[in-house]
């Protein structure tokens, strides 16, 4: 009883409310159509049929208005009560125990089993048995055996419907639970993939400039040297260092120095090709791997970078010109290993520093 009365709830609960309201509306329409047809074929029907038609019509129209205009979910218990009332009225008007209208009770029970589950089906079956018993005893109490047989069949039907509804609901609940678990697992897997990708990116990226870091530079340089050796390709390396950056940091502070490093990183990225590897080598030092690039082309790239840095307007520059010195080395011209390539590029960088800074020098032996 408690579970049945809990169905009287004016708040929307789920999509099944609208389905049940539509089903109730269809049943009410069928009942009205049947009564109208019966009235045309049997003009001698009792006068009590007119109020019954009026009540049924009001019920159907109310359902339609609620669903179409107000979007108001018709309470499930109300539809069941009206269904039972209409069916009992038909049984009463059409002769009580002799009327076959009681078969509509099966529709009420089946509809409840379809949409509300086993507990509600048992409750509606109990109310149906009480309503039908009261109607028949008040209308035609002289045939208790027929009544008992019909009540027994109705009860068996209700129990079977409740059992099937419970099994179906349990299966649906398990299916929904599995789908929710699969959805959660997919979302967790996607989060883990994004996290792993982010961790992998951070592992090879300098946190300040967004360039590749020192470790990734060495790994890629190993790969590119092996590739150049295997296919007989040229490979160049540019080492760059900001001139007077320590004094700039001491004068304007590390926050302004960080802004300069980010701006220089942006200049480097926008100057080289997408296949080139740009890394922060450490502090204010940068390195660029140029696959498939010869010595002269690498010198030209380094010179473009030097010119762009010189022409740039940095944050808090205050009239002080920031420049960059660069050293260039090529494999296999002068350097036959990764270590020799690094050493020669570093030599070129320090040669630029000794010659007055803000210049590009080659560390490759002619």
Instruction: List active site positions.
Output: 284
User: What contacts 24+ positions apart, CB below 8 Å, involve 78-82?
Assistant: 78/8, 79/20, 79/21, 79/24, 80/7, 80/108, 80/112, 80/124, 80/127, 82/24, 82/28
Taking every pair of Cα atoms in the chain, the longest distance, rounded to a whole number of angstroms, is 125
Residue 26 CB neighbour total at 10 angstroms: 13
244 CA to centre of own chain: 51
Task: Pull the structure tokens for residue 124.
Answer: 């509606």
For the sheet with 360-362, list strands across it.
277-282, 285-291, 235-242, 324-331, 360-362
What are the two backbone dihedrals, phi and then psi, of residue 323, each rounded to the nearest 5 degrees? -130, 175
Distance CA 32, CA 10 (A): 26
DSSP 72: P
Which element (helix H / strand E) includes 147? helix 144-204
User: Residue 325 to residues 69, 206, 346: CA-CA distances in angstroms?
Assistant: 77, 21, 11
Sorted by sequence, the CB contacts under 8 Å of residue 1 that are 6+ apart come out as: 123
Token look-up 């900001």 returns 242
Sorted by sequence, the CB contacts under 8 Å of residue 179 that are 6+ apart come out as: none
Cis peptide before 332 (omega within 30 of 0): yes
Distance CA 98, CA 91 (A): 8
């Amino acid at each position: 009883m408690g579970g049945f009365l809990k169905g009287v709830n004016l708040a929307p609960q789920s999509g099944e409310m609208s389905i049940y309201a539509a089903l109730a509306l269809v049943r009410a329409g069928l009942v009205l159509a049947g009564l109208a047809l019966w009235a045309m074929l049997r003009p001698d029907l009792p006068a009590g049929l007119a109020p019954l038609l009026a009540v049924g019509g009001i019920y159907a129209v109310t359902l339609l208005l609620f669903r179409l205009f107000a979007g108001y979910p018709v309470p499930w218990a109300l539809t069941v009560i009206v269904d039972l009332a209409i069916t009992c009225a038909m049984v009463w008007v059409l002769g009580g125990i002799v009327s076959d209208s009681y078969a509509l009770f099966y529709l009420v029970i089946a509809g409840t089993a379809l949409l509300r589950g086993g507990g509600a089906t048992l409750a509606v079956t109990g109310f149906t048995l009480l309503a039908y018993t009261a109607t028949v005893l008040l209308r035609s109490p002289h045939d208790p055996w027929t009544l008992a047989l019909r009540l027994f069949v109705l009860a068996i039907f209700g129990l079977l419907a409740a059992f099937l509804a419970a099994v179906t609901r349990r299966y649906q609940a398990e299916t929904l639970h599995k789908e929710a678990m699969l959805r959660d697992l997919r979302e967790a897997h996607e989060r883990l993939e994004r996290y792993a990708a982010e961790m992998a990116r951070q592992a090879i990226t300098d946190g300040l400039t967004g360039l590749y870091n020192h470790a990734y530079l060495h790994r890629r340089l190993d790969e590119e040297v092996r590739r150049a050796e295997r296919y007989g390709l040229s490979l160049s390396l540019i080492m760059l260092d900001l001139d007077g950056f320590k004094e700039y940091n001491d004068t304007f502070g590390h926050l302004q120095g960080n802004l300069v490093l980010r701006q220089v990183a942006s200049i480097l990225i926008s100057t080289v090709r997408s296949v080139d590897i740009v890394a922060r080598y450490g502090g204010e030092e940068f390195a660029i791997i140029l696959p498939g690039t010869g010595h002269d082309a690498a010198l030209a790239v380094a010179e473009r970078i030097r010119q762009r840095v010189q022409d740039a307007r940095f944050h808090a520059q205050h009239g002080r010109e920031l420049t960059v010195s660069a050293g260039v080395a090529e494999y296999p011209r002068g350097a036959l290993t990764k270590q020799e390539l690094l050493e020669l590029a570093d030599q070129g960088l320090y040669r630029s520093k000794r010659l007055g800074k803000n210049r590009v020098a080659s560390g490759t032996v002619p």
